[in-house]
Structure 1
Amino acid sequence: MATKLPETMRGQFLHAYKQPYQSRIVPIPKPLHPDDVLIKVDAASYCHTDYVLAQGQMPGLPNSFPHIGCHEFAGTTVSHSAHPSPDAAKFKIGTRVGVTGRAFHACRECFECQGSKDPIAQDEKGYSVHCTRAENNGISKDGGFAEYAVVDARQLAPIPEKLSAVETAPLMCAGITIYAALKRCQLTPGDRVAIMGAGGGLGHLGLQYATKMGFKTLGVDAADGPLNLARSLDTGAQIVDARSEKAADVVEQLGAEDGKRDLGEKGVDAVIILPESQAAFDYGMTLLKSHSKCVIVSFPEAGFHVSSRDIVFRDISIIGSLVGSNKTLREMLDFSAQHGIRAVAKSFPLSELNALVEDYHKGGGGKLVVDMALDGQ
């Protein structure tokens, strides 16, 4: 039997771009659509996209203010709509779930929902994280920086027993994004992959996933905090300070280690670009062997300058990667639980969300998470 819910909740709202969050008491939202599930939010993770959105710098901005951010969170199912769909009914009251922000109310009808050609992002027919008509929690609609949130059951993934809500929340964007990017590299165990921005929220998870997948892993960063974090992980990855080690020198070192003599066969088989820096992009491209892949996750406002010589003469493939399907999401969670992969995270109460944002700007690496339990709930 469902527990009687309070009538109001506390949330942290954006009232305008480039302004701090404001705490407000508002009515608890109601699940109205058959796919809707109301969850009690247990943990909500802060993403770089939250900052980009708050600055008014990204597509898919909120339809109106005030707005509740956060698109990577975790919670517990507390109610359904009056007539729940089969997808919603699968999540019984009390089920612990992780929530990705993508594809709230996917339309079931667009070409993506009917089956695109992307095996990493495609779910069963009738739902896609790339739905052209869907909204997104924390971006175009309210997200997880509140005590309760309405989510689409098709977004959800059950939380494995070995993971807590605080451990799960960062995996709902950072985890699935870097996991899917690694899958797009199409590597086999023993291949080399470089992760640019290896000490950040996605990067330090990527170091863990990549090494557990059996790849020879190179982590590159250019700031003390992230580099220290990357080095502190027991992954066996080679960590490179881009400020003091030139990419060309790293290529020569890898070539010598692999016994390669020709320039085109020295370096890494794939690179993942996480920073919004042209310098990071150029460094990563230099690390690549011929006929290899550059997977781009970041989306700087001005874009990246790409050399056609790399694409034509070196046969470098440039691929974009956003997130993975719900199937990939569940695979990632099970992989994380099985291999002990966790985000290095610092927790804050919901009431101190602005302090969390200040900490984010210090650039220490890892993830920052709102833990609802810290507010005494």
Structure 2
Amino acid sequence: MTSLDKTTNRAAVYAEPGTTKIEIQELPIPQPAAGEILSIFRRQIGGHEGVGEVVAVGEGVRSVPTGSKVGIKYTADACLNCENCLIGGESSCTSAKISGYMTPGTFQQFCITSAQYATPIPDSLDLAEAAPLMCGGVSVYAGLKRSGMQIGDWVVVSGAGGGLGHLAIQYARAMGAWVVAIDAGSKEKFCRELGADEFVDFAKFDDDNSLAHHIQSVTRGGAKVALICAASGKAYSQAPHWLRFRGCVVALGIPSESVGQVVSIFQFVSLELRLIGVKTGSRLEVMECLDIAARGLVKTKLQLRKLEELESVFHEMHGGNTVGRVVLDLR
């Protein structure tokens, strides 16, 4: 079915902003203005990452023909000319449009987006598997790339069985790293099947020191990178103790509680550690992460769910009851 066959756009609307209460509404199908494209979103995940097929283009659009498969990222559009954009920080563009926040997001069948900022999806990638890479996948890939990780380094992934973590295991392995996965014991089989070389059930350790000693032991002196995918303040306070000299803590998960000082400045100085924050990736980084997936080195583990189930999905996520990613099928 194309845009010519439909008269309305089924969308999930936040009934009470600030909560997860959802209403499914039938809205008019928007029409693309100059420089924009209209995509029919057959499958997507979240409000700020999704993929679909271009069904209409606005005036002046030449680079993205109808029928193209494209993705929408956390940043739906950026100026590409400010200082942040010029150094690859498009998600922090001074005039960025954030999907699902500053501009209508991807919880709808038809979505308007910038033609110059939409991401082409490789033909070999399944749309459902590509959707989570538009934010989750590119974020973990960018974190690993910016960490300075090299082939043969050890990477610790905290929250390894979740939506970000399960992709982080695979990208780290594809980039030549050895991986220690940290999560609840129930996720060990899942993480090892993804390629984790070692698995650590954090609940089996009585204190931070014993956990740190174990990780230092299995990595033969400490990891080079600690990728924090879990939204846990405790993970941030523990992570520097997992690292070797000049290791790097990569901050991705955002704790609801205040983390405060991660660790003593003395430890950071004495081991010459680094702490970097990664919001998401650039246009170049998303193309690189899609290419790795298109080569079959990364596979999104997902559940396909209907738009009407979105509120239930939110509750499952908050309860920590999801494995991998949930993808919305909007057909």
Same fold (TM over 0.5): yes
Cα 1:200–1:316 change in 2 (3 A) is same
Cα 1:257–1:169 change in 2 (3 A) is closer
Deviation of 1:13 after TM superposition, in Å, equals: 0.2
Deviation of 1:256 after TM superposition, in Å, equals: 5.2
Q: Does the 8 A contact of 1:74 with 1:165 survive in 2?
A: yes
Q: Tell me which residue corresponds to 1:230.
A: 191
Cα 1:360–1:228 change in 2 (3 A) is farther
Structure 2 CA distance for aligned equivalents of residues 348 and 71 of structure 1: 17
The one-letter code of the counterpart of 2:270 is: F
Deviation of 1:320 after TM superposition, in Å, equals: 0.7
The one-letter code of the counterpart of 2:71 is: G
Q: Tell me which residue corresponds to 2:289.
A: 332
Structure 2 CA distance for aligned equivalents of residues 299 and 163 of structure 1: 29
Q: List gaps (5 residues or longer) in structure 1.
A: 47-69, 123-127, 261-265
Structure 1 CA distance for aligned equivalents of residues 176 and 135 of structure 2: 23
Write the mapping of 1:289-300 to structure 2, written as runs, cut at 5 A: 289-300=244-255
Scaled by the length of structure 1, the TM-score of the pair is 0.80
Q: Does the 8 A contact of 2:82 with 2:93 survive in 1?
A: yes
**Pairing partner for 1:220 from 179, 182, 191:** 182
Whether 1:112 aligns to 2:84 is yes
Question: Alpha-carbon deviations, 1:227-279, whole Å to 9, x = none?
Answer: 45323x24142111111146544554565566x6xxxxx21111111222121
Cα 1:219–1:146 change in 2 (3 A) is same
Structure 2 CA distance for aligned equivalents of residues 145 and 234 of structure 1: 29
Cα 1:209–1:162 change in 2 (3 A) is same
Cα 1:19–1:321 change in 2 (3 A) is closer
The residue matched to 2:60 in structure 1 has which SS?
coil
Structure 2 CA distance for aligned equivalents of residues 341 and 108 of structure 1: 29
The one-letter code of the counterpart of 2:74 is: G
Cα 1:135–1:5 change in 2 (3 A) is farther
Scaled by the length of structure 2, the TM-score of the pair is 0.90
Structure 2 CA distance for aligned equivalents of residues 285 and 225 of structure 1: 25
Cα 1:109–1:160 change in 2 (3 A) is closer
Deviation of 1:9 after TM superposition, in Å, equals: 0.9
Q: Tell me which residue corresponds to 1:91.
A: 64
The one-letter code of the counterpart of 1:39 is: S
Whether 1:272 aligns to 2:227 is yes
Q: Tell me which residue corresponds to 1:43.
A: 43
Which consecutive segments of 4 or more residues in structure 1 shift more than 3 A? 224-228, 245-258
The one-letter code of the counterpart of 1:342 is: K
Q: Does the 8 A contact of 1:101 with 1:143 survive in 2?
A: no
Whether 1:370 aligns to 2:328 is yes
Whether 1:204 aligns to 2:150 is no
Q: Tell me which residue corresponds to 1:166.
A: 128
Whether 1:21 aligns to 2:22 is yes
Deviation of 1:207 after TM superposition, in Å, equals: 0.5
Cα 1:161–1:24 change in 2 (3 A) is same
Q: Tell me which residue corresponds to 2:59.
A: 82
Structure 1 CA distance for aligned equivalents of residues 231 and 154 of structure 2: 22
The residue matched to 1:73 in structure 2 has which SS?
strand
Q: Tell me which residue corresponds to 2:200.
A: 240
Deviation of 1:225 after TM superposition, in Å, equals: 4.6
Write the mapping of 1:317-328 to structure 2, written as runs, cut at 5 A: 317-328=274-285
Cα 1:346–1:225 change in 2 (3 A) is farther
Q: Does the 8 A contact of 2:76 with 2:96 survive in 1?
A: yes
Q: Does the 8 A contact of 1:71 with 1:173 survive in 2?
A: yes
Q: Tell me which residue corresponds to 2:300.
A: 343
Structure 1 CA distance for aligned equivalents of residues 258 and 82 of structure 2: 28
Structure 2 CA distance for aligned equivalents of residues 236 and 319 of structure 1: 23
The one-letter code of the counterpart of 1:80 is: V
Structure 1 CA distance for aligned equivalents of residues 218 and 309 of structure 2: 48
The residue matched to 2:55 in structure 1 has which SS?
strand
The one-letter code of the counterpart of 1:112 is: N
Deviation of 1:142 after TM superposition, in Å, equals: 1.0
Q: Does the 8 A contact of 2:48 with 2:135 survive in 1?
A: yes
Write the mapping of 1:81-160 to structure 2, written as runs, cut at 5 A: 81-84=58-61, 89-104=62-77, 106-113=78-85, 115-116=86-87, 121=88, 128-160=90-122
Q: Tell me which residue corresponds to 1:176.
A: 138
Deviation of 1:201 after TM superposition, in Å, equals: 0.4
Cα 1:148–1:216 change in 2 (3 A) is same
Question: Alpha-carbon deviations, 1:55-76, whole Å to 9, x = none?
Answer: xxxxxxxxxxxxxxx1010000
The one-letter code of the counterpart of 2:84 is: E
CA RMSD of aligned residues (A): 2.2
Q: Does the 8 A contact of 1:360 with 1:368 survive in 2?
A: no
The one-letter code of the counterpart of 1:210 is: A
